[in-house]
Chains A and B, each alone.
Chain A
Amino acid sequence: MATATKKKKAAGSAKKAPARTSKRAAAYTPPKKFPISFRVNGSEVRAEAPAHTSLLYLLRDLGFTEVKNGCEAGDCGACTVLLDGVAVNACCVLGVQAEGREITTVKGIGTVENLHPIQKKFIELGAIQCGFCTPGMIVAAYELLEKKPRPSREEIKAGIAGNLCRCTGYVKIIDAIEAAAGEMASSKGRKS
């Protein structure tokens, strides 16, 4: 109703301007939304988003705020999640590309009640200061240990090269990943 009134008024005034106004109003169509169904930490998620929404924004908008927004350009790794088991920068993936995929965030690796050895060692060894890099760092460390269960310190450095930390100076992070690898290896040994 409001728009109709406006249009009418415009039509009554100077000749050229109103044509422009109505043209502009007609040209805007909100971006099409795409249905996206995928899994996050084992749960089925159904969402809707325009194609230009990054997986980072999609996840955060859905409440998975453990996925951090650092640089949005692929540089810092704060947004690291597993996509079908592979560590990726969620800021450089589109939400629509998650269709049918399995996403794992730091909360899918271990919970407060049931911490993963990597998370436990990060806490025990003081590898967390402000904590902003931690979710991404732990996901990257998790993938590293999947690929290489007993990495050298150099291999750990290479494995977290895509994750920037402005607080710790990395030494304690590397210590924690090394210790977690040791604990995972010995508990595996005990099981078998």
Chain B
Amino acid sequence: MIPAAFGYERPATLEEALILLARHGEGARILSGGHSLLPVLKARLAHPGVLIDIGRIPALSGITRTAGGLRIGALTTHYEVESSPLVREACPLLAEAAGRIGDVQVRNRGTIGGSASHADPAADYPAALLALEAVLVASSPDGTRGIPAADFFTGPYENALKPGEILTAVEVASSPAGSGGAYLKAAQQASGFAICGVAALVTLSGGSIASAKIGVTGVATPAYRARKAEEALAGKPASPESLRAAAALAAEGVDPLDDFHASAEFRVQLAKVYTERALAEALRRAKG
């Protein structure tokens, strides 16, 4: 499998990358880890004239503390997120999701910016980014804007970036004291992608649930927040009964995917079961 020929640019700075992207317009694609883009090009599902390799732009890598949380550069690999002491401490849910992506080689090379931009409806990150209410930071020649995760994933392989924009970082708030998170997935056996992946972040106050945030991937497209289930939990006692009642609403109002990996009915069932399990595990961790 050999992709069609394309041109190649390797800008050294973000400014240069944005100029190149503006110059080449629709014909250009950004290259990060290449672990989604190169298979797509080999399958000849896209025909860009030029790849703009942002892999050596220092401003796009690294994990740093911000006032309320972390800024994770777009080029940060899944392995770096999985193993970063900063991420494990401030938002362990994100590290857990990163560690469930693909295999070692994929995690060594694939990046958070690439995964988010690719917006695969079966990818792991979207669930965690939704539950953590992450903000995706995009730069264009006009400046920088933050896009809430809930607005970022717009469809299968579709995101809210405008032409000419590059995703530069992902910002996440530190998970508050008394909170616990968990990411669980039913993986497609051969590829490892999620048939259903649920990220839950539960915050306790006294013996009851102050808030629950639930991101679901693989079940419908795009990945979504299970708002009905979240609402059903707010203020409720942290009991197995309330978790079960809320989890029953995990696929409420969504149009489930239906393909040869799993039927729509099975996906809905998985969404309920995995939501209950993820909530229970998150709760266990919240209790410390």
Chain A minimum-CB-distance residue to B4: A52
Q: How far is the CA of A159 from the CA of B108 in the complex (A)?
A: 12
Residues of B bordering A, CB below 8 Å? 1-8, 10, 31, 33-35, 38-39, 41-42, 51, 53, 55, 102-106, 108-109, 190-191
- On whether A73 and B108 interact (CB within 8 A), knowing A50-B5, A52-B5, A162-B103, the answer reads no
Point out the residue from A72, A93, A144 that lies within 8 Å of B109, measured CB to CB: A93
Q: How far is the CA of A32 from the CA of B9 in the complex (A)?
A: 12
Q: How far is the CA of A31 from the CA of B38 in the complex (A)?
A: 17
CB distance from B99 to the nearest CB of A (A): 9
Number of residues from A at the complex interface, CB < 8 A: 33
- Establish whether residues B39 and A77, one from each chain, have CB atoms under 8 Å apart when the complex forms: no
Given contacts A86-B108, A96-B8, list 13 more A-B pairs with CB under 8 A: A51-B5, A52-B3, A52-B4, A52-B5, A73-B42, A74-B35, A75-B191, A92-B39, A93-B34, A93-B38, A94-B31, A94-B38, A158-B104
10 nearest interchain CB pairs?
Answer: A162-B103, A51-B8, A31-B5, A161-B103, A162-B105, A72-B1, A89-B105, A52-B3, A86-B108, A73-B39
Most buried by A among B8, B39, B51: B8
A143 at the interface (CB under 8 A from B): yes
- Establish whether residues B5 and A89, one from each chain, have CB atoms under 8 Å apart when the complex forms: no
A177 at the interface (CB under 8 A from B): no
- Establish whether residues B8 and A72, one from each chain, have CB atoms under 8 Å apart when the complex forms: no
- On whether A34 and B8 interact (CB within 8 A), knowing A52-B3, A72-B1, A72-B42, the answer reads yes
A152 at the interface (CB under 8 A from B): no
Most buried by B among A74, A88, A99, A162: A74
- Establish whether residues B108 and A88, one from each chain, have CB atoms under 8 Å apart when the complex forms: yes
Chain B minimum-CB-distance residue to A158: B104
- On whether A162 and B102 interact (CB within 8 A), knowing A52-B3, A52-B5, A94-B8, the answer reads yes
17 example contacts (A-B, Cβ-Cβ < 8 A) are as follows: A32-B7, A52-B5, A54-B2, A54-B38, A74-B102, A77-B103, A89-B105, A91-B38, A92-B33, A93-B34, A93-B38, A94-B8, A143-B104, A144-B104, A158-B104, A161-B103, A162-B102
Q: How far is the CA of A26 from the CA of B31 in the complex (A)?
A: 30
- On whether A140 and B105 interact (CB within 8 A), knowing A51-B5, A51-B7, A72-B1, the answer reads yes
Name the A residues within 8 Å of B39 (CB-CB): 73-74, 92
Most buried by B among A50, A51, A77, A159: A51
Within 8 A of B (CB), among A65-88: 72-75, 77, 80, 86-88
